[in-house]
Structure 1
Amino acid sequence: MLKAGISKVKITPPFGLEMAGYGIYLNRIGKEISSALEMSEDNITISTTHTHSGPTTVYLRGWGDMDKNYMVFLKEKIIESAKEANKNLEPVIIGAGQGKVEINFNRVVKGGPTDTALMVLRVDNLSGKTKAILYNYSAHAVVMGPDSFAVSADWPGYASAKLDSVLSGGMGMFLQGFCGDVNIKDNGSSSFDKAKEYGEILANEVLRVTKKIKLEKSKKIKMYSKIINLPLHIPDQKDIEDMLQHYAEHRKQANWERFFQEWKDDTIREINRNPRDVLPAEIQILAIDNDILFVMEPGEVFTKWGMKIKEISPFKNTFVIGYANDCIGYIPDKDDFVRKGYAAHMVPLILGFFHFKPNAGEILVEGVGELTEDIKCLLNKK
């Protein structure tokens, strides 16, 4: 029988810690959790909500440095939480459902694709108490904008807090979707009231869906992972000069000139090392019976790719989860490469990666499709 355990820990940083955006690691956590719980690393997923109101936890050129003490603290808290969840494992019955919430919008293309689906997984113990509700929605957690210097869990924090208060001992857990080009409404307003408003709108829909979910004992659960090689464009000298010319106006500011000079120096250094022309990305999928599928990947994927995965999925309830196990930047659509958009063009410079080729998103979806078929066969194998 399926078992579930839950835990929550505080990861609030101390006063004075530098925030991200104003100025390899996850594998180590996975290994330590694997060792502590005697569990295969392949069965561990670490996903994040991706708030813009917190400390830097990955390399971001010119956008804030990682604090070593906080990184150690964060790692210890994650491992502590995993151990605590393992201690309170108990048999559970589960079920999934879907709702709809129209509080997001496409920030890249006016009227562009937006996934308004809200996916919900309900987990009850055998006494009938709801132990956890996992909910999956696609929208950047960016109500708190650049005018705010407060550490905040943004609207997902308010949504989970509302669920926690209703569940009384149970827990609401947010799983961020494919929101590379999707924001929440009133993004950047830096209003705690707005963050709470949208969080509670989402929580109310979660609760509505939860009441209608049919719970069952799970018969089969399978988890599978695969490395998909996403194609990279290795630049030459002309590409570097074209990039500098494209951002000529930015470079008139001293801080941006330093940014681009560092990028140029680092890029030339990397080219001379004969780099690989692919970036390995781990895709994980978790299937429960023939009804529920979780797809987990490590980037900020444009929403059309998540919608495509749901479309081709043979599972009734498909959760698409980004920001899992690594940070490989945006996986845009081809149009963003044509327009030289922020996601396709600028972000690789910030993260220190080469640019993806325009077909990276299609390769991702194709890889997920193959993985889904494989796990479907495993579930149905006698």
Structure 2
Amino acid sequence: MFGSPRARSLAALALLFLAASALASPCWAILPPLQVGAAVIDITPPEPYRMSGYFYERLSTGTHDPLYARALVLQQGELTTVLIVCDLIGVSRELTTEARSQIAHKLSIDEQHIVIAATHSHTGPLYGGVLLDWWKAKQAAAAEQVKPELDYPKFLVEKLVQVASDAAQKLETTTIEYATGHETSISFNRRFVMQDGSVRFNPGKLNPQIVRVAGPIDPDVGVVLFKTGDKVAASLVNFALHLDTVGGTEFSADYPKYLHDAIAAKLGNQCTSIFGLGCCGDINHIDVSHNRPQKGQEEAARIGAQLASAVTKGLEKTETRMGAQLAASMRVVEVPVQVYSEEQLAKAKSQLALVGTKELGFLEQVEATKIVDLAARYQGKPLPVRLNCIALSRDVAIVCLPGEVFTELGLAIKEKSPFKQTLVLELCNDAPAYIPTKKAFVEGSYEVVNSRVASGGGELLVESAVEMLLSLHQAAGAR
């Protein structure tokens, strides 16, 4: 009935082999299901309110489309991560530290796995920084009568706590689908090598002095869908393209607004669409090969539609991860900052009065503002920046970096990542201006003049992010 002794021995060996194989492989069945909750909240300030984005003072005159904070809460077992993306030019370390503390207390979770990011909209409120302090001081000195202004940082923290709480109340079991689209027609490296050997940013359309572009773009459109049953509860889209297509004095979310509208039309209004800005410190939407205007809501709508089309095409080749495995890590990296003398600081302070006028060159305005900011915020000490990595499975990971990161640095992280798909988000947790490459520091131009970090800081972030990704992936393989 059971065969010969030799056959029984072989069968026993086979059973032992199968048992050993099961022990050596991750057992997805024992993992609790991944849950997702998403929510949106309006963070538009009342008008008039100073607007961010440029080196001159602007007051808002209205709202073209509301500004939102969009929250994604992921939970599996005892681990909870929170990602909130705001339609703002940036979020400061002080503000995000306070918001994370309150969110962690409200939700009874670990604050180190809470990420707060910005889309970098140039048509949002100016609510902090050297220029705001200067303009307020000038206003006070002139004894101007101004009605009390909304304490926007306090208002924003309250909204961030609320949207995180709202998302946490909507947790449902989810599966993950991911895809990568491809888009090359809307983003352009804005740094060019000129005939005199210099490198300039935005040298003008059809400029005959342009020799060649100085760097690449990142054409990947990363997409992750979070599905609860047959519906898509949330989507995360990641693309590297600077947000400065609208201009004017009306509050607006810029091109992500049109992307969100298109995703809602395709996936349903129940889908909370979130846009995470990719590494685009040297990337914008300006095509120098023609002289057509590229500013305004029409341009933002065109870009949003093109990006939505890339998302749709990418989703035609969606991959599904039924066995989601949530993991997260956070690391504080000490990044060296630029240092200036007392004489340089005194000169910069004296030049602040000329910022926003034609009496001081643009790059001189940028440098003066930067030097004063460095002295006020960093005082020559290394900048402690938070890096967050979130693994959704053994295939998909999200990297969250501070500042406006050059695209080459984001590409380097993707290239070295062990995950099949890696979404790299910038302007997370802090906004220390531009983070160029070592190569760009040698070349110079606007982004380098406006940078706070020292040369090599960007490469240090890449090294740390890759180490974190490798560690997460190894841990996933060991489970």
Give the TM-score of the pair, scaled to structure 2.
Answer: 0.70
How many Å apart are 1:254 and its aligned residue? 6.9
Specify the alignment match of 2:240 in structure 1. Answer: 138
Q: State how 1:17-96 maps to structure 2 within 5 Å.
A: 17-20=49-52, 21=54, 22-23=56-57, 24-61=94-131, 68-96=150-178
Q: Is the 8 A contact 2:188 2:287 kept in 1?
A: no
Aligned with residue 469 of structure 2, among 365, 372, 376: 372
User: How many pairs were matched up?
Assistant: 368
> 1 CA distance for matches of 2:346 and 2:135?
26
How many Å apart are 1:290 and its aligned residue? 1.4
Specify the alignment match of 2:187 in structure 1. Answer: 104
Q: Is the 8 A contact 1:223 1:285 kept in 2?
A: yes
How many Å apart are 1:37 and its aligned residue? 1.0
- Kindly provide the amino acid, as one letter, of the partner of residue 15 in structure 1: E
**Equivalent residue of 1:166, what SS?**
helix
> RMSD between aligned alpha carbons?
3.2
Specify the alignment match of 2:262 in structure 1. Answer: 162
Q: Is the 8 A contact 1:122 1:210 kept in 2?
A: no
Q: Is the 8 A contact 2:190 2:286 kept in 1?
A: no
Greater radius of gyration (CA): 2
Q: Is the 8 A contact 2:179 2:315 kept in 1?
A: yes
**Equivalent residue of 1:328, what SS?**
coil
Note the alpha carbon deviations across 1:188-246, whole angstroms, 9 max, x for none.
843211111110111122122224313232342110010111122323357669989xx
Q: State how 1:206-355 maps to structure 2 within 5 Å.
A: 206-236=311-341, 253=359, 275-276=380-381, 278-345=382-449, 347-348=450-451, 355=452
Q: 1:60 to 1:137 in 2, by over 3 A?
A: farther
Q: State how 1:121-132 maps to structure 2 within 5 Å.
A: 121-125=224-228, 127-132=229-234
- Kindly provide the amino acid, as one letter, of the partner of residue 7 in structure 1: A
Specify the alignment match of 2:85 in structure 1. Answer: none
> 2 CA distance for matches of 1:78 and 1:336?
35
- Kindly provide the amino acid, as one letter, of the partner of residue 284 in structure 1: N
Q: 1:259 to 1:308 in 2, by over 3 A?
A: closer
**Equivalent residue of 2:398, what SS?**
strand
How many Å apart are 1:367 and its aligned residue? 1.1
Q: State how 1:112-127 maps to structure 2 within 5 Å.
A: 112-125=215-228, 127=229
How many Å apart are 1:35 and its aligned residue? 0.9
> 2 CA distance for matches of 1:311 and 1:78?
33
How many Å apart are 1:19 and its aligned residue? 0.7
Specify the alignment match of 2:199 in structure 1. Answer: none
Specify the alignment match of 2:251 in structure 1. Answer: 151
**Equivalent residue of 1:293, what SS?**
strand
How many Å apart are 1:265 and its aligned residue? 7.2
**Equivalent residue of 1:26, what SS?**
helix
Specify the alignment match of 1:352 in structure 2. Answer: none
How many Å apart are 1:264 and its aligned residue? 6.6
> 2 CA distance for matches of 1:259 and 1:99?
36
Q: Is the 8 A contact 2:413 2:466 kept in 1?
A: yes
- The sequence identity of aligned pairs, in percent, is 28
Q: Is the 8 A contact 1:56 1:64 kept in 2?
A: no
> 2 CA distance for matches of 1:113 and 1:341?
17
> 2 CA distance for matches of 1:54 and 1:175?
17
